[in-house]
């Protein structure tokens, strides 16, 4: 969701809606609510404290018509767009690291095939590998929803489930 | 007049773009942070729009007449209290007298409210003109207020009559951290809309009159859900909201309450195929379990008994809903076994939009809310059909027979295989 007139450094977390990506730095918190089979991709450069979060919906943007308009919608184009914007803001490509969360398979519907969540995870991993960005942490799969909060400055990706008191209710990546 | 998904998609982009510009200008003017909330294209009958207005809250509207590429009326509507709050922010810097939010609009507050409304209207309209790459002229703004629909569009000939189905643009702009929201309505002239649709359409499209079929589907489906819910739980339920939205897929999970919900999901197959979700808040789900399961159930979770009770209810409601559709469309629609979910609401919806997202960017969503008098029973129903199937199903529809079709779906035993 786009916010107009946000002061830089404001304490409220910046919402990253489905198909959106946001690049920021320092102590800003980027937040995506209620990921089911969607995937949160967080990239950051620990040297410059610049990082970004994408809330992707589908695996493959290279074959889609609208990926120019909505790079954040697809795992592959979102990763490239995040990297490009981070580098534009001063991040160094070679030190960028990645963390991912989400990609659950909430339902076992016949039409879902191998699982819509799994396809997103595989696509993100493949693109990161291709670009040589190390994936250093992940909390993916399962059959439950997640809310994530990412702080570019520390590289911390906080993953919460609906039942925070459960064993995996609150994970810090 | 015919429409297709491409044309509606352009309309949707117009609405988003317009809402963005309007929000930006509101921020510029008041210094208050704003964000664009849900944007929807609604297909509504005149009487439903009127009902929307008649929730007994006083409202304030700023209306302009449009000429050029779009002809008709554009109107910003805010609740009276919210209008005062914005006016207050605007006038805070000048040392004017205290504003009494319960009082009447005086000349100063009225002109400030009109200005805000006008600047927002212009934002929307400039956004549309950008998307359409054309010019739209705007009249001077007119201030209207009241608690019913009459002062707002009683004298607007473009506004739909009781039974007319109108395409309505609805956008919310919210101020960050506070609860000040606005709605925006566009009532286009039929000829102007028709010309626009012709320009934007890229396929054969659906005859506009066949949209009546949509409305019938929504109506029958909703009635069946309320009926089956009442039969099964003994809780007297009724349909509170029933409308057909055209939205981008991404907007669907954003609309779901940001809390832990209990739901039952189905995939359905036929003409059309798609997905159907029933979502309850936790209290309602507990109430349902209490009504359906005679013995005490574990308080915290839903346990095996609770889960199966909710799945059973979902299953019967799904049969009723889809039978309602099948009757209107004169076809059969099968559905899967129920999938139970107790999780964040948005997480339950996103797998469905991901699956549909492989082939479509937008979706028609049949939104239904079923409620009970005096008891907790809030059920949101999301029916999201495959777009291509839906278009085909509607095109096959014989509009003349819709009125005569009786609802024959009967309460029946579920096949829980």
What is residue B140's predicted lDDT score, i.e. its pLDDT?
92
Residue B413 confidence (pLDDT): 42
- pLDDT > 60? residue B149: yes
Q: Per residue in B13-48, pLDDT tens?
A: 888 888 888 888 888 887 778 877 777 787 777 777
Average pLDDT over residues A139-143: 92
Query: Can you give the residue ranges of every domain in chain A?
Result: 14-172
Does B181 contact A at CB distance below 8 Å?
A: no
Known active-site residue A38: yes
* CATH 3.30.70.100 describes domain A14-172: no
**B411 pLDDT more than 50:** no
- Mutation choice for B interface testing from A1, A109, A140 by most B CBs within 10 A: A109
Tens of pLDDT, residue by residue over A105-135, are 988 888 888 788 899 999 999 999 999 999 9
Determine whether the interchain pair A145/B343 forms a contact, defined as Cβ–Cβ distance below 8 Å: yes
Q: Are residues B128 and B251 in the same domain?
A: no
| Residue B288 near residue B318 (C-beta atoms within 8 A) | no
Contact by Cβ (8 Å): A70, A100 = no
Q: Are strands A14-15 and A30-35 parallel, antiparallel or unpaired?
A: parallel
| pLDDT for position B63 | 92
CA atoms within a 13 Å half-sphere pointing along the CA-CB vector of A88 = 9
B253-275 pLDDT per residue, tens:
888 888 899 999 999 998 889 99
B389 to chain A, closest Cα gap in Å: 15
Distance between CA atoms of residues B412 and B120, nearest Å: 52
Q: Are residues B245 and B160 in the same domain?
A: no
| Residue B373 pLDDT exceeds 90 | no
What is the per-residue pLDDT across B288-324, written as a single tens digit (0 to 9) for each?
888 888 776 555 678 888 899 899 989 998 998 898 8
Q: Which of B13, B307, B351, B360 to mutate to test the interface with A (most CBs of A within 10 A)?
A: B351
Least confident of A57-66, B52-61, B97-106, B138-147: B97-106
- At B416 the pLDDT is 44
B298 found inside a domain: yes
ipTM (interface pTM): 0.87
Question: Is B415 domain-assigned?
Answer: no
Residue A139 tokens read as 């909390």
> Which of these three, B140, B165, B200, is where a domain ends?
B200
Give the residue numbers spanning the domain of B64: 2-200
Please write down the HEC assignment for all residues of chain B: CEECHHHHHHHHHHHHHHHHHHHHHHHHHHCCCEEEEEEEEEEEEHHHHHHHHCCCCCEEEEEEEEEECCCEEEEEEEEHHHHHHHHHHHHCCCCCCCCCCCCCCCHHHHHHHHHHHHHHHHHHHHHHHHHHCCCEEECCCEEEEECCCHHHHCCCCCCCCCCCEEEEEEEEEEECCCCCEEEEEEEECHHHHHHHHHHHCCCCCEEHHHHHHHHHHHHHHHHHHHHHHHHHHCCCEEEEEEEEEEEECCHHHHHCCCCEEEEEEEEEEECCCEEEEEEEEHHHHHHHHHHHCCCCCCCCCCHHHHHHHHHHHHHHHHHHHHHHHHHHHCCCEEECCCEEEEEEHHHHHHHHHHHHHCCCCEEEEEEEEEEECCCCCCEEEEEEECHHHHHHHHHCCCHHHHCCCCCCCCCCCCCCC
Query: What tokens does B213 get?
Result: 């079929």
Please tell me the predicted confidence (pLDDT) of residue A8.
47
Residues B268 and B320 in one domain: yes
Whether residue B288 sits in one domain with residue B381: yes
Residue B384 domain-assigned?
Answer: yes
- Residues B152-169 pLDDT 10s: 877 777 777 777 767 777
What span, in angstroms and rounded, lies between the C-alpha atoms of B53 and B169?
A: 15
Average pLDDT for chain B: 81
Domain limit, last residue, from B173, B200, B227: B200
Q: What is the pLDDT of residue A1?
A: 45
- pLDDT band of residue B417 (cuts 50, 70, 90) is very low
Please answer yes or no on whether A162 and B343 come within 8 Å at the CB atom.
yes
Tell me the chain B residues in contact with residue A120 when contact means C-beta distances shorter than 8 Å: 354
Domain presence at residue B417: no
* CA atoms of A69 and B246, how far apart (whole Å): 20
Any CB–CB contact under 8 A between B267 and chain A? yes
Contact B265 A107 (CB under 8 A): yes
- pLDDT above 90 for B403: no
Looking at every residue in chain A, the average pLDDT score rounds to 88
* B183-205: average pLDDT: 82
pLDDT at A9: 44
Domain of residue B250, CATH code: 3.40.1550.10
Question: Rounded distance, CA B19 to CA B174, Å?
Answer: 11
pLDDT given at position B378: 82
CA atoms A56, A62, A67, A68: torsion sign: positive
Q: Does pLDDT of B402 surpass 60?
A: no
Backbone φ and ψ of A39, nearest 5° = -125, 135
Least confident of A66-75, B298-307, B403-412: B403-412
Q: Are residues B194 and B228 in the same domain?
A: no
B198-201 contact pairs (CB < 8 A, 24+): B198/B2, B200/B6, B200/B7, B200/B10, B200/B11, B201/B2, B201/B3, B201/B4, B201/B6, B201/B7
- As a whole number of angstroms, the distance between CA B384 and CA B258 comes to 20
Checking if the pLDDT of B379 tops 80, the result is: yes
Structural domains of chain B, count: 2
User: Do B175 and B249 reside in the same domain of the chain?
Assistant: no
Put simply, the answer to whether B344 touches A34 (Cβ < 8 Å) is yes
The residue that leads in pLDDT, B119 or B161, is B119
Res B414: pLDDT: 43
Count how many residues are written for chain A: 173
């Amino acid at each position: 969701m786009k916010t107009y007139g946000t002061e830089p450094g404001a304490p409220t977390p910046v919402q990253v809606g489905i198909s959106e990506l946001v690049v920021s730095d320092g102590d800003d918190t980027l937040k995506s609510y209620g990921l089911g089979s969607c995937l949160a991709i967080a990239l950051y450069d620990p040297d410059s404290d610049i990082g970004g979060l994408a809330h992707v919906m589908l695996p493959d943007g290279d074959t889609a018509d609208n990926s120019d308009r909505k790079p954040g919608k697809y795992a592959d184009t979102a990763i490239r767009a995040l990297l490009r914007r981070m580098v534009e803001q001063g991040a160094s490509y070679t030190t960028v690291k990645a963390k991912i969360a989400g990609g659950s398979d909430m339902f076992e519907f016949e039409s879902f095939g191998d699982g819509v969540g799994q396809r997103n995870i595989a696509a993100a991993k493949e693109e990161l590998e291709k670009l040589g960005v190390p994936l250093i942490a992940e909390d993916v799969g399962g059959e439950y929803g997640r809310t994530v909060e990412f702080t570019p400055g520390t590289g911390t990706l906080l993953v919460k489930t609906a039942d925070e008191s459960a064993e995996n209710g609150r994970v810090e990546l | 007049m015919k429409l297709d998904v491409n044309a509606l998609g352009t309309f949707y982009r117009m609405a988003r773009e317009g809402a963005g510009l309007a929000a930006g200008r509101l921020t510029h003017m008041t210094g208050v942070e704003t964000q664009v909330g849900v944007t929807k294209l609604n297909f509504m009958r005149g009487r439903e729009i009127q009902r929307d207005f008649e929730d007994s809250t006083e409202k304030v509207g700023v209306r302009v007449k449009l000429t050029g590429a779009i002809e008709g009326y554009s109107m910003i509507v805010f609740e009276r209290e919210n209008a005062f709050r914005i006016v207050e922010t605007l006038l805070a810097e000048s040392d004017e007298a205290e504003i009494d939010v319960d009082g009447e609009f005086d000349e100063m507050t009225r002109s400030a409210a009109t200005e805000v409304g006008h600047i927002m209207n212009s934002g929307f309209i400039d956004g549309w003109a950008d998307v359409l790459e054309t010019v739209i002229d705007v009249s001077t703004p007119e201030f209207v207020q009241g608690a019913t629909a009459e002062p707002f569009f009683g004298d607007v000939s473009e506004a739909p009559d009781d039974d007319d189905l109108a395409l309505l643009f609805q956008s919310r702009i919210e101020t960050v951290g506070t609860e000040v929201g606005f709605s925006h309505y566009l009532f286009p002239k039929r000829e102007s809309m028709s010309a626009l649709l012709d320009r934007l359409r890229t396929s054969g499209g659906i005859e506009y009159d066949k949209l009546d079929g949509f409305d019938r589907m929504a109506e029958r489906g909703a009635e069946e859900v309320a009926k089956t819910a009442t039969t099964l739980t003994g809780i007297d339920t009724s349909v509170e909201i029933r409308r057909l939205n055209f939205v981008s897929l991404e907007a669907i999970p954003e609309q779901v309450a940001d809390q832990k919900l209990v739901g039952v999901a189905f995939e359905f197959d036929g003409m059309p195929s798609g997905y159907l979700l029933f979502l309850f808040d936790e209290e309602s789900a507990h109430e349902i379990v209490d009504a359906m399961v005679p013995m005490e159930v574990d308080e915290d979770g839903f346990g095996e008994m609770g889960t199966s009770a909710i799945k059973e209810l979902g299953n019967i409601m799904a049969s009723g809903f889809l039978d309602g559709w099948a009757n209107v469309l004169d076809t059969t629609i099968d559905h899967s076994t129920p999938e139970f979910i107790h999780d964040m609401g948005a997480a339950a919806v996103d797998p469905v939009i991901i699956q549909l997202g492989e082939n479509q960017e937008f979706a028609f969503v049949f939104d239904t809310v079923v409620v009970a008098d005096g008891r907790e029973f809030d059920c949101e129903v999301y029916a999201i059909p495959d777009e291509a199937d839906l278009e085909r199903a509607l095109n096959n529809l014989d509009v003349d027979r819709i009125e005569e079709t009786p609802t024959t779906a009967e309460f029946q035993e579920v096949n829980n295989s």
